[in-house]
Amino acid sequence: NAGVTQTPKFQVLKTGQSMTLQCAQDMNHNSMYWYRQDPGMGLRLIYYSASEGTTDKGEVPNGYNVSRLNKREFSLRLESAAPSQTSVYFCASSGGHRPIQETQYFGPGTRLLVL
């Protein structure tokens, strides 16, 4: 049981390049999330998926797209990377029947540097 896994661990991009961050969970959770963490700002929600087939915007969705490929996988795409997207990205998942009470479990993160 690996929990939440993310690939890659680290990536360097040039401005304007695109890339997809991958996330998978093996806990049979319904909900999945993408956050970014910047120094002094805690974690901010980019997008989330309440269940397979649905996605919704979080606090900071501009410049990102997401795909809930199936129940296990939730990817985050940067179509045209900008230096402001340099950050650490975390994927999380949660399960259960009462989402508001459920614990979110986090992956190890992807460090992204945009030059």
Three-state DSSP at 101 gives helix
Rg of the chain over Cα atoms, rounded to whole angstroms, equals: 13
Q: Is 53 an interacting residue with respect to another protein (CB under 8 A)?
A: no
Cβ–Cβ under 8 Å, residues 74 and 46: no
Q: Is 33 an interacting residue with respect to another protein (CB under 8 A)?
A: yes
Interactions with another protein, residue window 75-114 (CB under 8 A): 90, 92, 99-101, 103-109
Nearer to another protein, 67 or 105 (CB): 105
CB atoms < 10 A from the CB of 84, how many?
A: 11
Smallest separation (angstroms) from another protein to the CB of 55: 11
Distance CA 15, CA 7 (A): 20
Q: What residues line the site for another protein (CB under 8 A)?
A: 4, 31, 33, 35, 40-45, 48, 50, 56, 58, 90, 92, 99-101, 103-109
